[in-house]
Each structure stands twice: as C-alpha cells, then as structure tokens.
Structure 1
Amino acid sequence: MRALIASGTGRYADPWHPFAQTSPLLAEILHGEGFSVVIDDDVDTAMRRLDGIDLLVVNAGDPWRGDDRTTGAPADSIAGLDAALDGGMGVLAIHAAVASLRDYPAWAPAIGGMWIPSGSFHPPAGPATVSAGALPDGTALSGFEVVDERYCRLQQLGERHVVAEHSGPAGAEPTAWVRTAGSSRVAVDVLGHDEASYESVGHVRLIAALARWACPTP
C-alpha cells in the first residue's frame, strides 16, 4: 500500500504548526501499518501525483490565512484530487487539514467538516482527555490522554460517524470521525498540533486505526 503525505509549506504553512516535524511522525506510524510512504512538501503538486496512491494524508494549513487569496490552486491539481477521490483513494485528514485545501471544491464535502474563521476556535493547547467508541466495522477504540489543541465548533458537512470526542466549553466535540465520499473512505483526526501530540500512545493508536479503516488491506 502506498501513502502520500501532503505536508504544509509555502501558502500551506503557518507560524503555529511544525508540519516539517509532524509529517515524519505520521510517516513512522504509517510505516508501522505496512504502508510505503512519501512526504511531499508541495501540496498543490502532490495533488497531481495521486495515481497509484492508496492513502492521501493531508497535514497542512490554511492557504487563505492571509489577505492574499489570489494564488489559488492549479486546475490540474484540482482535477487530480477529484479523480483520485472518484477512484476510491483513502483519505486521512490531520488537524489543520480541516482548514486546508480551500481552493479544492471537493475537499470540504469529502472530509465532512471545516474550520470556520471567526466561528471555530480552540482553547490553549494543553492536556486533554479523549473518549472513544468504535469504527463502523466494529473495531473498538480506546480513550487516551494527549497534550494538544481541542478544536471546537467546526462546521459539519454531511453525515459522519464520530469515533472519538473531547470536551469543549459547550460540551462534547468531535475529535475524530469517518465517512465515505463516493467510493472513497475518509477519516478525520483533529488532533496533531505539534510533536507533543504524537507522544501519546493512545493518539498514535487512533491514527493507525483510522489509516487502516480508510485504506483496508485487500
């Protein structure tokens, strides 16, 4: 199985998320699940290189963070993601990926939720307790402790199966969910702010389970 990690640089980088450090940690987890992994730090170019990729992992930030939204994504990159989703490629969206790929019309509907500027928020990063349920195939997940940001008030798009939750000021918030987008399986994990998140054994196990679900072994 082949995995490609689209790692944020350039307009997909920001001052808060050390993608260059967390993408190798994601690659290590995927290697442990039997994937061969390539990290591509040019997100838009990566979307043109999805032929033969079984799992796309997006670990990248918000390209509309600044005032300049004129760059956009190349048409062939948008077409590349569309074709890969139509072909049934698995997807794993990590943390800031819920605010990323805003120029790609298929992205937000595929992952089933997005960060809304001036609406979504998170308390300061710190210790958090995550409760967990089960994947749709019956695979039980375990709760865990983690040091991370707790995303709150994300916009839900379509149906999704929430498999993990954390507490927010107004009650439980989704930590991870899975869904299908056409013939593709999609998993979303809103944890993963920095290296501290990957020191949690429970979080590492969650990522591995989500990757296996999004890209089951034939």
Structure 2
Amino acid sequence: MRAVILSGSGRYADPWHHFDETSAALAGIVTGAGYRVEVSDDLLGGLARLDGFDLLVVNAGNPEVGRPEGVDDPGPAREADVAAATAGFDAALARGIGVLAVHSAAATLPEVPAFGRAIGARWIEGASWHPPIGSALVHLVGAHPIGEGLSDFTVFDERYSGLRLLDVIEPIAEHEEGGIRHPLIWARELGHSRLVYDALGHDARSYDSAAHRALLDRALVWLSRVPAPTFDAS
C-alpha cells in the first residue's frame, strides 16, 4: 500500500506548527501500519497526483493566517493548480481512498472546498478556539470500530474547540472544556472512500502518547479497507 503525507510548507506553513516534525512522526506511524510512505510539501500538486495512492494524510496549516518568521507571503494559489487539485481529489474520492486529516488540516486548503466538505467540519477564525496547550483528557465515545475496546487517555496537546460542523460525523473521541463536550476525533464514509479527522497533533509530543498512537493504528486499519462498500437501496 502507498501513502502520501502532504506537509505544511510555503503557503500552508504557519507560525505555530512545526509540520516537518509532526509529519516525520506521522510517517513513522503510517510506515508501521504497512504503507510505503512519501512526504510532500506540495499540497495542491499532491492532491492533483493521487493516482496510485491508497492513503492521503494531510498535515498542514491555514494559508490565510500569518507566515512563520522569515517566510514571505507566496500570494494566492494559481487557478490552474487549484483546478487540478480539486479534480484529483474528487477522482480519488470517487474511486476509493483513505484520508487521514490531522489537527490544523481543519483549516487548510480553503481553495479546495471539497476537502473541507470531506472532513465534515472546519476551523472558523473568530469562532473556533483552543485552551492553552497542556495535558488533555480524551474521552472515547460512540460505537465506531476504531475506538472499540480502547479507554480514555491523556495526551499533551491542544484541544480544538468550536469547530463548525458541516455534515454528519461518527464521533470516536471528545474532550470537555467549560462543561461542554467538543468532538475531537471522528470518522466518515464518503461513497467508496473513508476519512478520519484527528484534531490532536499540535506538535510531536502528541505522538509520544502510546494511547494516541494505538488509536491511529486502529484508524489506519479502518482506512485501508477501501474501496468501501456502498449501500444499494434497490
């Protein structure tokens, strides 16, 4: 099986995340799940060239916020690149692909609305937020096979809160802040494709958690089972 990790750089870098470190940690986890892994910092080009890949991992930032120190604003994406990325992503979803989107991927690729719709929720500037990074209690919820038999765990991470849901999700984990439960990890089936969004993963310390890695191992097994069967009402 082949996997590509699209890692934040250039337009998709931001001042808060070290995508090179977290993408390296993810590459180790995905390799351990049996995939041959490629890491690319060309997000739009990567989406346009998904033929032959069984798994897409997106770990990148919001191009509409500030740049890291010393990184110039590269300006808007070329329309031709956006069109090719949209077509490539749509084609991959149609044939069947596993998608793992982590942390700030909820805000990345705004030029490709199909990506945000696939995740099922988005980070909205001025509405979404997170408490200070620290030890976080992750509550396993629901009956999805990814979370079956796993227990609540703690991880050092940011806890994204107030994401705007765009569609139905199958919750796997939540966190509590201010007496309110917020979805943290979920799964979706999109025709022949499957997607998992994991709001954890601010920095490499998140992947030091054995329990977080175990959950990701389960997610990768589930994502590998594509093309997923579709329900036929006839």
Q: Which amino acid aligns with 1:148?
A: D
Alignment-derived partner of residue 211 in structure 1: 220
- Matching of residue 146 in structure 1 with residue 155 in structure 2: yes
Instruction: List aligned pairs for 1:113-192, cutoff 5 A.
Output: 113-133=121-141, 136-137=144-145, 139-192=148-201
Percent of residue pairs bearing the same amino acid type? 46
Higher mean alpha-carbon deviation, 107-116 vs 206-215, is at 206-215
Alignment-derived partner of residue 194 in structure 1: 203
Q: Tell me the CA shift for residue 71 of structure 1.
A: 2.6
Q: Which amino acid aligns with 1:81?
A: F
Q: Tell me the CA shift for residue 70 of structure 1.
A: 3.2
Q: 1:72 and 1:103, CA in 2 relative to 1: closer, same or farther beyond 3 A?
A: farther
Q: Quick one: distance in 1 between partners of 2:214 and 2:108?
A: 24
Instruction: Give the one of 51, 70, 93 matched to 2:76.
Output: 70
Q: What TM-score does the superposition give when structure 1 sets the normalisation length?
A: 0.93
- Is the 8 Å Cα contact of residues 194 and 226 (structure 2) preserved in structure 1? no
Instruction: List aligned pairs for 1:49-64, cutoff 5 A.
Output: 49-64=49-64
Q: Quick one: distance in 2 between partners of 1:59 and 1:98?
A: 9
- Matching of residue 46 in structure 1 with residue 46 in structure 2: yes
Q: Tell me the CA shift for residue 137 of structure 1.
A: 3.7
Q: CA deviation digits over 1:145-191, x for unaligned, max 9?
A: 10100100100111111001111224111110001122210100000
Structure 1 runs (4+) deviating above 4 angstroms are: 66-69
Q: Tell me the CA shift for residue 134 of structure 1.
A: 5.5
Q: 1:183 and 1:117, CA in 2 relative to 1: closer, same or farther beyond 3 A?
A: same
Q: Quick one: distance in 1 between partners of 2:182 and 2:39?
A: 30
Q: 1:174 and 1:56, CA in 2 relative to 1: closer, same or farther beyond 3 A?
A: same
Q: Quick one: distance in 2 between partners of 1:148 and 1:216?
A: 29
Q: Which amino acid aligns with 1:177?
A: W
- Is the 8 Å Cα contact of residues 2 and 36 (structure 1) preserved in structure 2? yes
Q: Which amino acid aligns with 1:11?
A: R
Q: Quick one: distance in 2 between partners of 1:180 and 1:72?
A: 30
- Is the 8 Å Cα contact of residues 72 and 103 (structure 1) preserved in structure 2? no
Q: Quick one: distance in 2 between partners of 1:42 and 1:207?
A: 24
**Uncovered stretches (5+) of structure 2, i.e. residues with no partner:** 68-72, 228-234
SS in 2 for 1:206: helix
Q: Which has the larger radius of gyration?
A: 2
- Is the 8 Å Cα contact of residues 62 and 107 (structure 2) preserved in structure 1? yes
Q: 1:97 and 1:135, CA in 2 relative to 1: closer, same or farther beyond 3 A?
A: farther
Instruction: Give the one of 58, 83, 95 matched to 1:87.
Output: 95
SS in 2 for 1:178: strand
